[in-house]
Structure 1
């Protein structure tokens, strides 16, 4: 197969999600990518929220389209054109695709965590070379929960991630979660408050289990397992998720400080030396 031969729908998972509009978009994405990549196409998958469960209309759709070797200039340029065009289409999900084009051999182990892959952020039209999807979370969610669009079984693509590594990485993120979040999301935006609380819950869950769960489930887990004084905050974060991202929406009065206090509480548990 060459990059000039047109690929059809054959073999592509027709219903990878419960959203028909998104399914149609993913089929189109895979067909377009295969036509561009030709023999360099390896497989296509979903990881992240759609893989671990409970994805909703506020979720990003995290995809991985694997390649066999580094992109040629032609392939990179054509992929950039494709992802520049997708957000101009009508529909909700055209603004919420997020993913990378990793080299399959670099994804298999953790040895290439410094490798940058061609990446598109949700809502963006310009692709970047970035390590965004190059982490243990993406590998774990793909191997253990991944959804195949087309290609080999995910367990044949990535080696198992030791729970100790998952726990260590979660601890690293938990240490600086507030400063790291505010480096790209100002404290004046309500979405950031929810992000900080949810991420703290997810990191603590991973520290406790060595695994990953969805944003919704991690809030429920925290409500059942942490001090009851945080129930109001956790309920607020869960209920406000349906509001989505709004750059003009400010945090509820006192909620950001409550989020900071919650992080300190979670850190006292998750970073405690045995």
Structure 2
């Protein structure tokens, strides 16, 4: 706790945070994490960007994750990885309600320039996974498009200074390529929270492909209930189930979830 607070005080001395979300308590939490990152990485931290539900509009303070991209001057070294693990563990102890709810991708400037054409190494901590090295390739394009278009600057210049320009056409093509994987996930989705995630994600994807614009899951659901009225009841249930911690089997709605995914894919020309 002292380590995190010391970093916060040092960082606040030299930087003025200009960002603002709809949740003041989250603003303070993000400032604390940003300060701890600066204390750990120093001037190697080139930029820090918030994206995901906290920016897009679906954020639930009790269940949602916090998604961040940290741009670093060079790839994270083994020594820095160890220091960042200690920093995240200190932050976790100070904020136990955020255990397994923070995702930070640590990406080198050169790695970000090259991810479209090859596989590069980054470091990432995410729900269910400790901080570790992992590969990044073209499949990450959708994430970085969202940061490019909607990312909130915490530290540094706009994210476009680091992300090679991603067109809306590239985003839509990547989104289409990923959609078939949702059917396999739907067939494994036994509880309401997971089913909700799949249904709402499909609604948002259908909207994005039709209009070339990414919106929140809830706004996507509102649109889909009007556009596909036969599925309105199921989509409304998915909205109500959003963030549910109920892990009991809900096989009846699982069957309907699979049917909805098949329907959504058919709207895009897939035959499954």
Instruction: Output the TM-score relative to the length of structure 2.
Output: 0.85
- Structure 1: how far apart are the matches of 2:89 and 2:65? 17
Offset, 1:67: 0.2
Aligned ranges 1:204-219 → 2 under 5 Å: 204-219=206-221
Partner of 2:125: 120
| 8 Å contact kept, 2:111–2:121 | no
Q: Deviations over 1:39-87 (max 9, x none)?
A: 3110111012223333222321101111010122221110011122322
Task: Give structure 2 stretches of 5+ with no counterpart.
Answer: 1-5
| 8 Å contact kept, 1:119–1:132 | no
State yes or no: 1:51 paired with 2:50: no
- Out of 244, 259, 264, the position equivalent to 1:261 is 259
Partner of 1:238: 239
- Structure 1: how far apart are the matches of 2:226 and 2:162? 35
SS of the equivalent of 2:68 reads strand
- Structure 2: how far apart are the matches of 1:113 and 1:221? 37
- Structure 2: how far apart are the matches of 1:137 and 1:105? 19
Partner of 2:15: 11
Offset, 1:112: 5.2
Matched pairs, number: 261
SS of the equivalent of 1:71 reads coil
Partner of 2:3: none
Partner of 1:169: 174
Partner of 1:271: 269
- Out of 35, 38, 45, the position equivalent to 2:39 is 35
The structure with the greater share of residues assigned to helix is 2
Aligned ranges 1:142-161 → 2 under 5 Å: 142-161=147-166
RMSD: 2.6
State yes or no: 1:195 paired with 2:193: no
| 8 Å contact kept, 1:36–1:79 | yes
SS of the equivalent of 2:105 reads strand
- Structure 2: how far apart are the matches of 1:123 and 1:177? 20
Taking a change above 3 Å as real, the CA distance of residues 140 and 237 of structure 1, as seen in their structure-2 partners, is: same
- Structure 2: how far apart are the matches of 1:150 and 1:69? 17
Task: Give structure 1 stretches of 5+ with no counterpart.
Answer: none
- Structure 2: how far apart are the matches of 1:14 and 1:94? 26
| 8 Å contact kept, 1:52–1:141 | no
Offset, 1:233: 0.3
- Structure 2: how far apart are the matches of 1:271 and 1:110? 29
